[in-house]
Amino acid sequence: MQEALSLARFRVALDGPADFDGWRRAARRLAAERVPGGEVEWSVGGTADAPSSLLDNAHPSAALSVPREFVTRAETVICHSDPERFAFLYRMLLRIVAEPNLMKIASDPDVRRFEAMEKSVRRDTHKMRAFVRFRRIGAEETERYVAWFEPDHFIVERNAPFFVRRFTGMRWTILTPYASADWDGERLAIGPGASKTDAPPDDGAEDLWRTYFRSIFNPARLKVKAMQAEMPKKYWRNLPEASLISGMIAGAEDAAREMIEKMPTTPAPHHAKVQARHWPAPQPDDRKGDGAEATTLEELREAAKGCRRCPLWREATQTVFGEGPGAARVVFVGEQPGDQEDIAGRPFVGPAGKLFDAVLDEAELDRRLTYVTNAVKHFKFEPRGKRRIHSKPNAGEISACRWWLDKELALIRPELVVALGATAAQSLLGKAVPITRMRGEVIERADGLKIFLTVHPSFLLRIPDARDKAAEHERFLADIRAVKQLMAA
Ligand code: URA
């Protein structure tokens, strides 16, 4: 932020379209001097002349007392695309200094305008979170995800931390006409804007979004107006699933009728316990079969897509099947896919997967030579706000999904299976075992299969103390090195 005096007017050049800190510094000093709004010109970028006396700290900005609520809300309002926003906020600031209760006067035209701008930015922020669609480019090491989005307001900087939290384990870039956000797995960088042609075209990942969208679409609840309000047409052209909307709206009545006919009677909550004790007979999606006849991993994977053996398929995006060569000598078994695995359809690609990869690298064990899978193949979670929080699978779900794990192991016939954590061990051994006490041990099952026990990588992610974490990392690394040695034996 630079400020300069020019012909009895103050010109403030801000660093960016949503440079709140720059605006705030300048506005506080100008307001402390009671400089009228009409004498200040605000712009983005550009250069200013020599600093004015307002910059010499002669009037410490602390002299100005402004309600915290205004400051917090102004930080949102400044993201609005209205070119007058800086001047408007400055006018509000001057008024608030004179009338500290201004924000409580709901009928005041400035307050109403402030609220409308704030609401619009919030809505745009929410839309960006809901409608950014990443497209995968590159493969393996170079793999990254790129999305194109056209926000109404200057919200990229404000929204980027959300995407970092949501997609920590992926490398991604979001391009917009005015700015871009790039996450390389460790560092967030905000860069210049781009054009739509900089974003990659359609790819395989789009099919996944369409599948997901179709699976969450409930025609019986369809309210076209509300749907269009939530997903305004403006966003449709960047959404892979948008191609399905008109067809689904058109067929909604039939689809709703069919759906109601097929709908099971929802059991009372306590039935879950009864169900867990007397798990119902397998009920595969008939179109795909139950995998009993599968002679290859590919056939088995295909069958698992229609798995209905336990209720977890209902809320999950898709079955996350194992991955790796059919002749792998070692199979790693985790607990269940997490949030990112559920979206990507691949095991161990999120934060725990990244840690797992790093330790395998350190142990010089090539993941591509191993088969990696989970005891439970659907993501189990609790929705909390917009987040999906991992929830541990219960004994019934573990035992229902063992059908697939047993078949994977029967087809691969590995020399060693590594149970990553308690759920995997329970599935592989048919009973709960104390992992922390037994880690590093190899247990031979009645059928001769050798099971190596160790902790789950997400256990390391949850350790808050850096020294403890480093120590556990070493222990996990030692376990993986032991696995490598057993493979070589
Ligand atoms: N945790 C698991 O157990 N499996 C995954 O695939 C990811 C996280």
Q: For 444-471, what is each residue's pLDDT tens digit? A: 999 999 999 999 999 999 999 899 999 9
At residue 439, the pLDDT reads: 96
Q: Confidence band (pLDDT; 50, 70, 90) for 208?
A: low
Q: Which atom of ligand 1 is nearest to the CA of 334?
A: 3
Tell me the backbone φ, ψ of residue 354, rounded to 5 degrees: -65, -40
Residue 374 pairs with which residues in a beta bridge?
Answer: 334
Least confidently predicted of 93-97, 217-221, 445-449: 217-221
The span from the CA of 167 to the CA of 350, in Å, is 8
Q: Report pLDDT for 251.
A: 65
Q: Is the pLDDT at 97 greater than 80, yes or no?
A: yes
Burial (0-12, 13-18, 19+ Cβ within 10 Å), 464: exposed
Distance CA 30, CA 37 (A): 9
pLDDT > 70? residue 165: yes
pTM over 0.95: no
For residue 456, give the ligand 1 atom closest to its CA.
3
What local confidence, expressed as pLDDT, does residue 27 receive?
A: 94
Mean pLDDT score, 362-375: 96
Arithmetic mean of pLDDT, 325-346: 94
DSSP string, 71-125: HHHHHHHTTS--TTHHHHHHHHHHHHHH-TTGGG-TT-HHHHHHHHHHHHHHHHH
Amino acid 284: pLDDT: 44
Residue 223 confidence class, pLDDT cut points 50, 70, 90: low
Q: What is the mean pLDDT of residues 409-413?
A: 97
Domain boundaries, the chain: 2-125, 132-198, 205-262, 269-488
Over residues 101-116, the pLDDT tens digits come to 999 999 999 999 999 9
Q: Is the pLDDT of residue 287 over 60?
A: no
- Helices (DSSP H) in 430-465: which residue ranges? 435-438, 457-461
Assigned token pair, 394: 């219960």
Range in 132-141, 319-328, 368-377 the model is least confident about: 132-141
pLDDT of 329 over the 90 cut: yes
Using most ligand atoms within 8 A of CB, pick from 374, 408, 456 the residue to mutate for ligand 1: 374
Pocket test of ligand 1: the residue of 312, 318, 348, 426 to mutate, having most ligand atoms within 8 Å of its CB, is 348
The whole-number pLDDT of residue 224 equals: 63
Q: Report pLDDT for 460.
A: 96
Ligand 1 binding residues, C-beta < 6 A: 334-338, 341, 347-348, 350, 352-353, 374, 458
Whether the per-residue pLDDT at 231 is higher than 90: the answer is no
Fold entry, domain 269-488: Uracil-DNA Glycosylase, subunit E (3.40.470)
Q: How far is the CA of 373 from the centre of ligand 1 (A)?
A: 8
pLDDT digits (tens, 9 = 90+) for 239-255: 666 666 666 666 666 66
- Tell me what pLDDT residue 220 has: 59
Pocket test for ligand 1, best of 318, 336, 370, 377 (most atoms within 8 A of CB): 336
Judged against a pLDDT cut of 90, whether residue 28 lies above it is answered with: yes
State how far the Cα of 16 lies from the Cα of 217, in Å rounded to an integer: 40
What are the tens digits of pLDDT across the range 424-441? 999 999 999 999 999 999
Going by pLDDT thresholds of 50, 70 and 90, the confidence category of residue 377 is very high
Residue 456, class by beta-carbon neighbours within 10 Å (0-12 exposed, 13-18 middle, 19+ buried)?
A: buried
